[in-house]
Chain A
Amino acid sequence: MIELLSGWLKQIVILVLIAAFMDLLLPNNSMERYIKLVMGLLIILAILSPVFQWIRQDLDLNQLAFDTAQMKEEGLPSLSGIQQESKRLTQTQDRLVREEAQRRLEQMITKEVEERFRVKVDQTQVQTEEREKRVGIAQVSLAVRPAEKKENGEFPDIQAVEEVKPVIIEGGGDLERGGRPRKGPSSTQSVWGEKITRFLAKTLGLQSEQVDVEVLQGNQGG
Chain B
Amino acid sequence: MEMVQVVGLGLIATFLILVIKEQKPVFAFLLATFTGVVIFLSLVDKIADVLGILTQLAEKARVNSMFLETVLKIIGIAYIAEFGAQVTRDAGQGSIASKIELAGKILIMVMAIPIITMMIETVVQILPS
Chain A interfacial positions (CB closer than 8 Å to B): 7, 10-11, 13-15, 17-19, 21-22, 25-27, 29-31, 34-35, 37-39, 41-42, 44-46, 48-49, 51-52, 55
Residue of B nearest to A42 (CB): B67
Contact-residue size bin, chain B (C-beta under 8 Å from the other chain): 20 to 34
B81 touches A (CB below 8 Å): yes
Q: How many inter-chain contacts with C-beta < 8 Å in the A-B complex?
A: 90
20 additional A-B pairs beyond A11-B64, A14-B57, A55-B126, beta carbons within 8 Å, are: A7-B62, A11-B61, A14-B63, A17-B57, A18-B71, A21-B54, A22-B71, A25-B75, A26-B75, A30-B105, A31-B108, A39-B74, A41-B115, A41-B119, A45-B67, A46-B63, A49-B64, A51-B122, A51-B126, A52-B118
Q: Please give the distance in Å from A75's CB to the nearest CB on chain B.
A: 32
Main secondary structure of the interface of A (DSSP, over half): helix
Question: Which listed residue, A27, A35, A45, touches B119 by the CB 8 Å rule?
Answer: A45
Complex interface: chain B residues within 8 A of A18 (CB): 54, 57-58, 68, 71
On whether the beta carbons of A42 and B70 are closer than 8 Å, the reply is yes
**A58 CB to nearest chain B CB (Å):** 9
- Given the known A-B contacts A11-B63, A51-B122, A55-B122, are A41 and B112 also in contact in the complex, defined by CB atoms under 8 Å? yes
Contact (Cβ within 8 A) A38 B112: yes
Q: Could you tell me the distance between the alpha carbons of A105 and B75 in the complex, rounded to whole angstroms?
A: 81
For residue B112, which residue of chain A has the nearest CB? A38
The minimal Cβ–Cβ distance linking B127 to chain A, given in whole angstroms, is 12
Partner of B104, one of A14, A19, A31, A37: A31
Chain A contacts of B122 at CB under 8 A? 48, 51-52, 55
